[in-house]
Amino acid sequence: MTERAEKAPLREEPVAVDMAALRQMFHNNNALVRKFGLKFIEVANDTLAEMKEAQSKKDLPTLGRLGHKLKSSARTIGASSFADLCEGLEKANTDSNWSDAESLLEKIPSLLEKITQQLENEFSEMSD
C-alpha cells in the first residue's frame, strides 16, 4: 500500500522582503542595503502612526495618500506584499471603499513587523 499525499503540502510563508531584489537595487553593497532597509522601517513605522491617526478620523483620502507614499519604497526594497497592501489603500480611496481600507489596515502592521524581523535578522548576519 502506498501512501498518497492527499493533504495540501505545507507551504512556507512567503518572505516579507525579497533580499535578492534589495541587494540588486544597491549593487550588493551591504552598507547601502542595511542603510536603506533601516530607513524603510523607520519611515514605514512613522507612516503607520499617521495611518492609525487617519483611520481614527475615518480620513480615507489621507489613507490613500499614505498608502501611495509607502508603495514605491516598499517595492524598491523588495517588499511586494506590503506594497500591494499600500496600493490597496490607494484603490480603497479612489473607490471610496472604507470597508476595504479597514481590512487592509488590519494586515499592514503585522506585515510590517515581519519585514522588520526579517531585515533585522538579515542585517545581523551581514558584514559590510
User: What's the mean pLDDT when you consider all of the chain?
Assistant: 90
Rounded to 5°, the CA angle 104-50-18 comes to 55
Written as nine digits, the cell of 44 is 514605514
The pLDDT of residue 11 is: 45
Within 8 A by CB and 6+ apart from 32, the residues are 26
The pTM assigned to this predicted structure is 0.85
Give the integer Cα–Cα distance in Å for 40 and 101.
22
Q: What is the pLDDT of residues 11-65, one digit of tens each?
A: 445 689 999 999 999 999 999 999 999 999 999 999 999 999 999 999 999 999 9
The pLDDT of residue 127 is: 67
Domains of the chain: 19-124 (1.20.120)
The pLDDT of residue 28 is: 93
pLDDT band at 108 (very low <50, low <70, confident <90, very high): very high
Range from 7-21, 43-57, 81-95, 99-113 carrying the lowest mean pLDDT:
7-21
